[in-house]
Structure formats: structure tokens, C-alpha cells
Amino acid sequence: SLLRFYSSESAAPQTSDDGSSSLITRFADLPRLGVHDRLVNSLTSVLKYETMTDVQSMTINAALAGKDVVAQAKTGTGKTLAFLVPTVQRLIANQPELAYPRRGQARSDDIRAIILSPTRELAEQIGVEAKKLCQGTGVVVQTAVGGTQKNQMLRKTRIEGCHLMVATPGRLHDLLSDRSTGIDAPNLEALVLDEADRMLDVGFKTELESILNYLPHRTEVPRQTLLYSATIPKNVVNIARQFINPANFEFVQTVR
């Protein structure tokens, strides 16, 4: 049931020794949570972000502490950076050389992070934001959506490789289930389900569940999963149960 799923959440906010809340709320303070200077510089000096929104602060703090996240947040609350910051940081933490641009390091069969979004337009917007954030690092971002020329996307991905793929569930399922594409993620470290309620509304339940079969089990490769949804109806809970680590997750709910 809903309640049983939520009962394992860690409701207590992070507190420091004196009991005060210690959530980081400014992008400039992210080095205190171990975020690489390159990434912080990109956020503050290049993209000019200063203060985090609620969902950003709560997600980023929880995810950087290693937790999976289920977040309920409305449109326009800044969810894109909420999941991009911890996801890109995780890739750099696991492969420190990714902090710096270097040619010829990415493969198309060793994707480390996947972000799933319900529509082509939303996935493309996330791809643009991810590329901005990763500029100045060695993290290679590719976008795979339905409707666009698949062969062109595949050629580009084979040449450039891919560390972080932004995709719609339909196109990703299509790519993973066809071995001839050369797209694979045997070492997947991070998975984001953005707008989970909308992905289910547009009929991607089967693709989402099937994608899980093409990914390493989260106990084989330690994977972090972040799930965002404006609403949490029963079908979203069911998806969350399949993707989220029940032993180590935080339920984040924001009102603005």
C-alpha cells in the first residue's frame, strides 16, 4: 500500500550536532557537500544560479548523501537542476577524469546515467540544460527521442560516445532492445524518472518496466534512482516500488 511504501522514508531532516538544520540552499555552498569545483563554477559563474528552489535543496542534499529520492513537485519548481546536479556529480565522483574535457573517452555501450522524460520536447529541453551544465567537464550528453532521425542520432552517439543519455521511454526501450544499436548501460550509476505521472499517462508503463530488464540490477552496480512526479497516484507508487531502493530513500514533498 501507499503507507507501507512511504513508511520506510527517513522523515527526519538532516541536522548538525547543535540540532539546527544543515541543508545547503546556495549553489555556491555545494563544495561543502563534495560537489566538484568545475560543476559549481558552471552553476554559479556560467549559468548564474544563486539560491536553490525547495525541491532543488531537498533533492540535492538527499541525493548527494547517497539516497534514492521520490519527489513530489509541481511544474516550474526547477526539477531539471534538482536531478542534474547530483547525477553529474555522481558520474564525476565515480570517474574523476570526467571532470575535465578529454577526447575519445566515452563509449556508447557504457552509459553511466539515464534521464527519462515523457515527451520529446521535455527531453530535448533537459538535454540542452545538461549540456550547459556539463560544458567544461568531460561528461558527454546525448538525447534520444522518438520522431527524430534515429540513424543520425546513433552515428553521433557511436562517434562521440555517451555518459549521460536523456531519452523518452519509447526511444530508449527501442535502443536497448535492439543489440545492433551498440547502445548499452551495463555500468549504469544513475537513473532519473522525470514527470513519472505523465510518463504513465501517455502510456509508457510497459516500456518503463521493460527497460528495467535491460539495466543492471541496482545491487550489481550501485545505482541511484531519482523519481519526480507532480502527483503520486497508485500507478506512480507501483513504478517507484520497482525502481527505488526501499532501504535507502527519501520522500521529498514541496509546496512551492
Site residues (CB under 6 A) for ligand ADP? 49, 51-53, 56, 75-81
Binding partner at 78 among Mg ion, ligand ADP, none, C-beta below 5 to 8 Å by kind: ligand ADP
Contact positions toward Mg ion, by CB under 5 A? 79
Q: How far is the CB of 135 from ligand ADP (least distance, A)?
A: 15
- Closer CB to Mg ion, residue 79 or residue 90? 79
- Closer CB to ligand ADP, residue 7 or residue 51? 51
Which of 90, 192, 68 is closest to 139 using CA atoms?
90
- Closer CB to ligand ADP, residue 2 or residue 46? 46
Binding partner at 53 among Mg ion, ligand ADP, none, C-beta below 5 to 8 Å by kind: ligand ADP
- Closer CB to ligand ADP, residue 41 or residue 210? 41
- Yes or no: say if 145 and 120 are a contact pair by the CB < 8 Å rule: yes
Q: How far is the CB of 78 from ligand ADP (least distance, A)?
A: 3
Binding partner at 84 among Mg ion, ligand ADP, none, C-beta below 5 to 8 Å by kind: none
Q: How far is the CB of 80 from Mg ion (least distance, A)?
A: 5
Non-local CB neighbours of 50 within 8 Å, separated by 6+ positions? 26, 27, 28, 44
**What is the side-by-side strand order in the sheet with 190-193?**
141-144, 164-167, 113-116, 190-193, 224-229, 68-72, 249-253
CA angle 247, 250, 255 (to 5 degrees): 160
Assign 115 to helix, strand or coil.
Answer: strand
Binding partner at 42 among ligand ADP, Mg ion, none, C-beta below 5 to 8 Å by kind: none
Amino acid making up residue 254: T
Residue the block writes with cell 542534499: 61
Q: What are phi and psi of 69, to 5 degrees?
A: -135, 135
